[in-house]
Chain A
Amino acid sequence: MNQQDDFRRYAPAPLPSSEIKIPTPYQTVLPNGLTLVVVEDKRLPLVSYRLAFRTGDAHDPPELPGLTDMMAGLLTEGTVSRTSRQIAEEVERMGATLHAGAGSDFTTLSASALAVFGDKILELMADVTLRPSFPENEVELTKQNTKESLKQQRAQPSFLANEMVSRVMFGEHPYSRIVPTPESIDNTTRERLVEFHRSVFVPNNAVFLIVGDVDRAVAEQNVAKLFGDWPRSEAVPDSFPQPPDRTKRVAYVIDRPGSAQSNIVISSKGVNRTNPDYFPLLLMHTVLGATASSRLFMNLREEKGYTYGAYSNLDTRRTAGTIRATAEVRTPVTGDSLKEFFYELDRIGSEPVTEKEISDAKSYLTGVFPIRLETQEGLIDQLVQIKMLGLPDNYLQLYREQVQKVTREEIQEVAQKYVRPDEAAIVIVGDGAQVLEQLERYCSEIEFYNTAGKKKDRPTAVGVVTESDDSSLAGTWSLEIQTPFGQDVAATLTLNQNSEGFSGKVESEMGQGELANVTRDGPQFQATLSFAMEGAAMDATISGSVAGSRMDGTISLKNLPALSFSGHRAE
Chain B
Amino acid sequence: MPVPMDLPRAMHKTFVRDKEACASFRKTCPQSLRRLSRLRRISVPAGLLLLLVAGQSVSGQVKMPRLDFHERTLANGLRIVSAENRTSPTVAIQVWYHVGSKDDPAGRSGFAHLFEHMMFKSTRNMKSEMMDRLTEDIGGFDNAFTNDDTTVYYEVVPSNYLETLLWAEADRLSGLNVDAQNFKSERDVVKEEYRQTVLAPPYGRLDYFLQQKSFTAHPYKRPTIGSIEDLNAAALADVQAFHASFYRPDNATLVVVGDFDQQQLDTWIDKYLQPIAKPGSPLPRVTVKEPQRKKEVRFTENGPNVPLPAVGITYLTPPITDADAESLRVAQTILSAGESSRLYHALVYEQQIAQSASATANLLEDVGLFHLNAIAASGRKPEDVEASLLAEVKKMQDAPVSQAELDKAINQIVTSQLLERETNDGKALALGTATVLLGDPNRVNTDLVRLQAVSTADVQRVMKKYFNSENRLVLYYLPEPAKSKPEGR
Contact A381 B415 (CB under 8 A): no
For residue A162, CB closer than 8 A to chain B, the reply is yes
**A106-B24, A114-B414, A315-B29 given as contacts; is B125 within 8 A of A292 (CB)?**
no
Of the residues B158, B272, B414, contact of A95 by C-beta under 8 Å: B414
Q: Contact partner of B28 among A93, A158, A317, CB < 8 A?
A: A158
CB distance from B257 to the nearest CB of A (A): 11
A–B Cβ pairs within 8 angstroms, 22 of them = A8-B124, A8-B167, A12-B164, A18-B259, A43-B87, A44-B421, A46-B422, A88-B339, A89-B339, A105-B24, A114-B62, A114-B414, A161-B28, A290-B19, A291-B137, A326-B31, A366-B139, A369-B139, A373-B88, A378-B16, A389-B24, A562-B305
Q: Considering the chains assembled together, what is the distance between the CA atoms of A20 and B272 in angstroms?
A: 28
Q: Is the CB of B422 within 8 A of A371?
A: no
Q: Does B133 reach chain A (CB closer than 8 Å)?
A: yes
- Judging by beta carbons under 8 Å apart, are B424 and A374 in contact? yes
- Known contacts A44-B421, A116-B61: A8-B158 contact under CB 8 Å: no
Pick the contact of A103: B26, B163, B307 (CB < 8 A).
B26
Please state if A175 and B87 are interface contacts (CB–CB under 8 Å). no
Q: Nearest residue in A to B174 (C-beta to C-beta)?
A: A8
* Of the residues B171, B415, B423, contact of A96 by C-beta under 8 Å: B415
Cβ A15 vs Cβ B157 within 8 A = no
Q: Interface residues of A, CB < 8 Å — how many?
A: 87
* A482 beta carbon closer than 8 Å to chain B: no
What 3 A-B pairs are tightest by C-beta distance, nearest first? A367-B139, A368-B139, A18-B89
Asked if B24 and A367 sit within 8 Å, CB to CB, the answer is no
A93 with B422: CB separation less than 8 A: no
B24 touches A46 (CB 8 A): no
Classify the interface of chain A: helix, strand, loop or mixed. Answer: mixed
Q: Across the interface, which residues of B come within 8 angstroms of A292, CB to CB?
A: 32, 34-35, 132, 136
A491 to B28 alpha-carbon distance, docked (Å): 31
Residues of A with Cβ closer than 8 Å to B?
4, 7-21, 43-46, 56-57, 88-89, 92-96, 103-106, 113-117, 158-159, 161-162, 166, 175, 178, 273, 282, 290-293, 297, 309, 311, 313-318, 321, 326, 360, 363-376, 378, 381-382, 385, 388-389, 559-562
Q: Which residues of A contact B163 (CB under 8 A)?
A: 12, 14-15
Q: Could you say which residues of chain B place their CB within 8 Å of the CB of A559?
A: 479-480
Contacts of A314 in B (CB 8 A): 19-20, 23
Q: Contact at B137–A273, with CB atoms within 8 Å?
A: no
Nearest CB of chain B from residue A522's CB, rounded to whole Å = 25
Mark contacts of B87-105 with chain A using CB atoms, 8 A cut-off: 1 yes-contact digit, 0 otherwise. Answer: 1111000000000000000
* Contact pattern, B 458-481, Cβ under 8 Å of A = 1, otherwise 0: 000000000000000000000110
Q: For A103, give the chain B residue with the smallest CB separation.
A: B25
Q: How many chain B residues touch the partner (CB < 8 A)? A: 78
The reply to whether B31 and A309 form a contact with Cβ atoms under 8 Å apart is: yes
Contacts of B346 in A (CB 8 A): none
Cα–Cα, bound, A161→B23 (Å): 16
Q: Does B65 contact A (CB under 8 A)?
A: yes
Question: Nearest chain-A residue to B345 (Cβ)?
Answer: A89
Whether A375 and B422, one on each chain, are in contact in the complex, defined by CB atoms closer than 8 angstroms, is yes
Interface residues of B in 22-63 (CB under 8 A from A): 23-29, 31-32, 34-35, 58, 61-63
Bound complex: CA of A293 vs CA of B32, how far in Å? Answer: 12
Contact A46 B20 (CB under 8 A): no
Besides the known contacts A114-B58, A291-B34, 17 further A-B residue pairs in the complex with CB atoms under 8 A apart: A11-B126, A11-B164, A88-B340, A95-B411, A95-B413, A95-B414, A114-B411, A114-B418, A117-B411, A292-B35, A292-B136, A293-B133, A311-B32, A314-B20, A360-B137, A363-B137, A376-B422
Residues of B close to A370: CB separation below 8 A: 88-90, 158
Question: Given the complex of chains A and B, what is the CA–CA distance between A316 and B24 in angstroms?
Answer: 6
Q: Which residues of A contact B159 (CB under 8 A)?
A: 17-18
Determine whether the beta carbon of B339 is less than 8 Å from that of A313: no
B140 contact from A57, A309, A371, Cβ within 8 A: A371
Q: Are B21 and A20 in contact (CB under 8 A)?
A: no
Chain B contacts of A11 at CB under 8 A?
A: 126, 134, 164, 167-168
A315 to B26, CA, bound (A): 9
CA of A11 to CA of B156 in the docked complex: distance in angstroms?
Answer: 17
Find the B residue at minimum CB distance from A272: B24
A46 touches B412 (CB 8 A): no
Which of B88, B124, B168 is packed against the most chain A CB atoms within 10 Å?
Answer: B88
CA distance A569 to B63 in the complex (A): 70
Q: In the bound complex, do residue A45 and residue B89 qualify as a contact, i.e. CB atoms below 8 Å apart?
A: no
Q: Contacts A114-B415, A114-B418: A309 and B35 contacting too (C-beta < 8 A)? A: yes
Which residues of the partner chain A approach B89 to less than 8 Å between Cβ atoms? 17-20, 370
A332 and B154 alpha carbons, distance in the complex (Å): 39
Q: Which chain B positions have C-beta within 8 A of A178?
A: 26-27
Cα A408 to Cα B407 with chains together (Å): 58
CB pair A92–B408 under 8 Å, yes or no, is yes
List residues of chain A with CB within 8 A of the CB of B140: 367-368, 371
For B62, give its contact among A9, A116, A365 (CB under 8 Å): A116
- With a cutoff of 8 Å between Cβ atoms, the chain B residues found around residue A21 in the complex are 87-88
Task: Indicate with 1 or 0, residue by residue over B162-180, a CB within 8 angstroms of chain A CB atoms.
Answer: 0110011011000000000
In the assembled complex, B138 has its CB within 8 A of some CB on chain A: yes
Contact residues of B between 234 and 286, Cβ < 8 Å to A: 259, 271-272, 275
Query: Which A residues are CB-close (under 8 A) to B126?
Result: 11
Chain B residues, Cβ within 8 Å of A15: 160, 163
The answer to whether the Cβ of B319 comes within 8 Å of any Cβ in the partner chain is no
Q: Are B422 and A44 in contact (CB under 8 A)?
A: yes
Interface check B438, CB cutoff 8 A: no
Interface residue B106 (Cβ < 8 Å from any Cβ of A): no
Q: Are A44 and B415 in contact (CB under 8 A)?
A: no
CB-based contact A14/B160 at 8 Å: yes
Partner of A309, one of B27, B32, B423, B424: B32
**Complex: A116 Cα to B337 Cα, angstroms:** 21
Nearest Cβ on chain B to A85's Cβ, whole angstroms: 8
Q: Could you say which residues of chain A place their CB within 8 Å of the CB of B413?
A: 95
